[in-house]
Amino acid sequence: MLFNSIDFAIFFPIVFFLYYLVHKSLNVRNLLILLSSYFFYGFWDWRFLFLIFISSFVDFQIGKKMHHTFDINKKKILLSISLFVNLGLLIYFKYANFFIESLMNSFRFFGNNLEVSTLKIILPVGISFYTFQTLSYTIDIYNNKLKPSNNWLSFFSFVAFFPQLVAGPIERATNLLPQFHRINNFNYEKVKSGLLLIAFGLFKKMVVADRAALYVNEVYANPNEFGGVALLISTILFAIQIYCDFSGYTDIAIGIARTMGFDLLKNFNLPYFSKSLTDFWHRWHISLSTWFRDYLYIPLGGSYNGVNRTYFNILIVFVISGLWHGAAWTFVFWGAIHGLGLVIEKMTYKLRKSIYKYLGLNKSNYSNQLFFSFITFSIVCLAWIFFRAKSLSEAFEIIYRIFNDFEISNFLYPELYLIGLDSNEFIVLIVSIISLSLAEILHAKKSLMIRLNKNSLLFRWFIYFVILFAILLFGIYGDDKEMSFIYFQF
């Protein structure tokens, strides 16, 4: 079920009102959450519900057993079973064909022909997200950071919690699971701010992301037909699209959970205003980057085993992070670019610091901040090319064209802005991007809800109606137009 669909618009109010009818009885409430989450997921394809069930069942049992044993070897075996089941399912459904194809390509490269037919596998929506979420549970118990849940209903609800089931934020059991053990009374302010966040997320998705997608899809469908300027514009628009798509989804997820009294992790914090790649990864998909930090980077040794090992660990983490996003070499490359960028940043830290000092560049200065943000955004966009392109060769071709088929005078051609869009649509896109940026900057300084609450009821309602009608009039929806969220494919 998509958040931007009429099905969800019917589903959510029903769940919401039922939820507050039964919220005082913890078990009934959690049962309602579990059933509605399974319905939400099964609405897409009920057959894959068993994967979530298996994952939940295995980890619930292993968690309990692991807690009751003091034998470290037994603990290791139990953790291995959890990893094997969860990662096994993930690898089978997401990476089996990728590995088969890569193997065949390797044989072909060395002049041998290996013919293995690929498997007909459908990728279950959100498998990467809920697998990581359940893994964090068993790993935390293994590391004695968490006590296992004794209530299977709470645990199963935690794994399948529908607001964040298919695309995060990837919750830690330490943060979310205890919330299934407490009663959430109706909190008017929380519900109001949750609803506003949902509206904000829908605006990001339906008005900005899906409209930018019209341009991006047109260019990236046949990149060879476009010059450097069009490719550059479409890459920048893709950066905007993916941000609004994913952070829009996250806003809706956090908003839905908030209306039900749950607090989810923050996932984005103005990532395109980052002053370095390190900064970017503190602001982009925070729940994933902290997951990789805690469950991969640190177990690999983090930065405690020398400089070279640190660089290696960073590279490994980002390559795997790329692979987590998608089973294709383009994603691996995307991750590698970020990893390499971070390594270079670390390697040149002292050098850069002395250069900045010599040139009198202060990162807190506004114009300098803008300069560093521009540089970071450019690198992020370069990496997005690999993320969006259909193949590595296509990505390199796009980069080649941007640099070699670039005529600055082309920016003056109006047709260039009307690829996949008409002139009114382009104006709406630009105006909505500017409005959104201003709203996000203001929100970062002081919550929009707090700002709104200081105003009269009339003004607040006027703003609510403006947002509602902006979504209704400028949103992309209709006959077969509901666009899925990009991160659903991961």
Partner 1 sequence: MKKFIVKILIFSILAGVLLISFDSFFLRNQYGDQASFNSFYNAKPNTVDILLLGNSHLHRGIDPYIIEAKNRVNTEILVGGGSTISQVYFNLLEALEYQSPKVVVIETWPLIVPNYQNNELFDYEGKVLVNRNGTEYFKRFGKIKIKEIVLTHPEKTWYHLLNVIRFHDFWKELEVFKNSFIAKIDNSPKKIFHNSIVYRNTFITKDQISEFVNKKFEVNDMFVSEPEMSYINKIIELSKINNFELLFITVPVYDKYYEKVKLGFNNVNSQILEVIENHKNVRYFDINGLYEGLDFSHIVKERTINANQHLNYKGGIKVSNSLANFININYADIFTDVRETKKSFEYQLYNKNEIKNSYNFDGQVTKVDNNLTNGSITIEGWMFKKGLNNWKIKKGVALKKNNDFIFITSNQLKNIELQDLVKNKGNSYKPSGYRIRLSKFTLDQGDYEIHHLIESEKGEIFTQYSNKKISIN
Active site amino acids:
325
Maximal C-alpha separation, the chain: 74
In the DSSP assignment, the letter for residue 205 is I
> Which of 222, 367, 424, 456 is close enough to bind partner 1 by CB under 8 A?
424
Distance, in Å, from the CA atom of 475 to the CA atom of 470, rounded to the nearest integer, reads 7
Cβ-based nearer residue to partner 1, 17 or 366: 17
In sign, the C-alpha dihedral spanning 476, 479, 480, 482 is positive
Minimum Å distance from CB 417 to partner 1?
Answer: 15
Q: Which two tokens stand for residue 45?
A: 């394809």
* Single-letter amino acid code for the residue at 347: M
462 is an interface residue for partner 1 by CB under 8 A: no
Instruction: CB nearer to partner 1: give 252 or 471.
Output: 471
**Cβ-contact 398, 223 below 8 angstroms:** yes
Q: Enter the DSSP assignment of 206.
A: I
Site string for partner 1, 375-414 (x = CB under 8 A): ----------------------------------------
Binding string, residues 183-212; x marks residues near partner 1 by CB under 8 A: ---x-x--xx--------------------
Contacts of 408 (CB under 8 A, 6+ apart): 229
Which residue, 19 or 297, has its beta carbon nearer to partner 1?
Answer: 19
Q: How many residues bind partner 1 (CB under 8 A)?
A: 22
In 3D, which of 57, 64, 41 has the Cα closest to residue 89?
Answer: 57
CB of 188 to partner 1, least distance (A): 6
Least spacing, CB of residue 166 vs partner 1, in Å? 23
- Residue-wise burial string across 309-329, b where 16 or more C-beta atoms lie within 10 A, e elsewhere: ebbbbbbbbbbebbbbbbbbb
User: Is 466 near partner 1 (CB under 8 A)?
Assistant: no
Distance CA 402, CA 410 (A): 12
Please say which residue, 192 or 352, places its beta carbon nearer to partner 1.
Answer: 192
- Whole-angstrom distance, CA of residue 346 vs CA of residue 313: 13
Residue with Cβ nearer partner 1 (295 or 474) = 474
The correct pick among 45, 225, 407, 422 for binding partner 1 (CB under 8 A) is: 422
Residue from 182, 461, 462, 466 in contact with partner 1 (CB under 8 A): 461
Q: Residues of 53-90 as b/e, b for ≥16 C-beta within 10 angstroms?
A: eebbbbbbebbbbbbeeeeeeebeebbebbeebbeebb
Q: Which is nearer to partner 1, 113 or 456 (CB)?
A: 456
Minimal distance in Å, beta carbon 473 to partner 1? 5
Residue among 308 and 424 whose Cβ is closer to partner 1: 424
Alpha-carbon gap, residue 402 to 13, rounded angstroms: 47
Please state the closest distance from residue 16 (CB atom) to partner 1, in A.
10
Select from 257, 428, 436, 486 the one that contacts partner 1 (CB under 8 A): 428
45 binds partner 1 (CB under 8 A): no
Determine if 473 is a binding residue for partner 1 (CB under 8 A).
yes
Q: Does 464 bind partner 1 (CB under 8 A)?
A: yes
CA–CA gap between residue 318 and residue 365 (Å, rounded): 30
Preceding peptide of 271 cis, ω within 30°: no
Query: What residues make contact with partner 1 under the rule CB under 8 A?
Result: 6, 20, 186, 188, 191-192, 422, 424-425, 428, 461, 464-465, 468-469, 472-475, 477-479
